[in-house]
Structure formats: C-alpha cells, structure tokens
Amino acid sequence: MEKKKLRFPVIVEGKYDKIRLLSLFDARVFTTDGFSVFNNTEKAAFFKRLAEKTKVILFTDSDSAGGVIRRFFRSSVGKDALIELYGPQIPGKEKRKKAPSAEGFLGVEGLEKDLLIHIFEPFFEDAESAACASPPLTRLDLYEAGLEGGENSREKRKALCRAFGLPANLSVSAMLDALNLLYGGDELREALARFAQ
C-alpha cells in the first residue's frame, strides 16, 4: 500500500502511537512522551514554535489523560494552531500490553487501519501542492556537512539543534522533520553550509 502524505505535522503521546501512524502515512510525527512534556520546557518551546509556522494535528488517546494533554496544548500553543482529531472510545487492549489501560479504551496505537485512514483523510496532501515545495533536507545533506556518519557528528547535531532552537535529544529523523518544517529546504541548506564550516 502506498502511504498517503499528510499536509501537517502530527503530535501524539508516545512512541508506539508514532510507529502506528508511520506504518500508514508519510508524515512528520512528534511525541509528547506522555505527561513529561509538561516539565520539558525545551520540547514545549519547540511545539509552540512549530505551531507558529504551520497548523499542527493533535491526536491523543481518547481518555482523560489524553484530555489533559490536549488542554495543555490549547493553553501553551493556542487553539487556533491546532487541528484536534479524535478517535472513538473503543473498549479493548493493545496486543503488546498485558492489561488494558486504566479506563479500558484502546489508545491511538490500537486503532484499526481503516479507522485511522478515515480520520486523517481530510489532511492528505495532494501531489500538486507537494511539487511546489523546495526539496527537503535529507540525511545525505547531513552526511555531506559532517553531521552524520563522521567524527563527532552526534555532538555536531546537538550543536545544530541548539543553534536552531530545537531540543538537543531529537533523533536524526525527528531533527530533519523539525528543520524541514520550520525552514525552507533551500534556506536550510545555506544555513547548514555556514554551520558546517
């Protein structure tokens, strides 16, 4: 199955939610790491900055914990920047878990493929709009700038994250997604060339 590309970045609660969405969509997905986003000022500032640049899809579990995270984002990022999507409350347990969640509902990771496609369908990117964008920064660009696969490349990536106001603990993929969302590909390549010197 060809993955449909989503127009906007998506914020979910945890890594298994992210894995589930990435198995179905070509998307930029970031995690709150549950409630830890409340105390991670670096990550909260990143989400706020991201929402200043583009609309952001917020898709949390449909339980009270997901509601708490949604309220946090409405106040910290602002309701106007958010596209809040909801899954139904379906009783059940995810396959990887030994017991159901506290409220007994499936989380994002447990929702069926067809249901997720239906929920996200209004936000699929059409090929025409994608063709107009400048090419995104790639791992090859990072490699050529000495930021991946080279000596001290990890430290250089952390310095790059700091220079661009991103959380220093982002994975390479998440860092690329964040940079490509916040900056145009051409603008970013120029900045990266200066940074790599």
Residue 110 and residue 94 in contact, taking contact as beta carbons nearer than 8 Å: yes
Residue 158 has pLDDT above 90, yes or no: no
* Domain edges within the chain: 4-129, 133-196
59 vs 56: CA distance, rounded Å: 10
Residue 171 and residue 158 in contact, taking contact as beta carbons nearer than 8 Å: no
Query: CA-based diameter of the chain, in Å?
Result: 55
Q: Supply the CATH classification number for the domain 4-129.
A: 3.40.50.140
Sheet strands (E) in the chain? 4-5, 10-12, 25-26, 29-31, 56-58, 82-84
Find the distance separating the first CA and the last CA of the chain, reported in whole Å.
42
Share of the chain above pLDDT 70, in %: 92
What pLDDT, on a 0 to 100 scale, did the predictor assign at position 133? 57
56-115 pLDDT per residue, tens = 999 999 888 999 999 999 999 988 899 999 888 888 888 888 887 788 888 899 999 999
The pTM score is: 0.75
Residues 6+ apart with CB under 8 A from 116: 20, 21, 24, 87
No. of H helices and E strands in the chain?
Answer: 9, 6
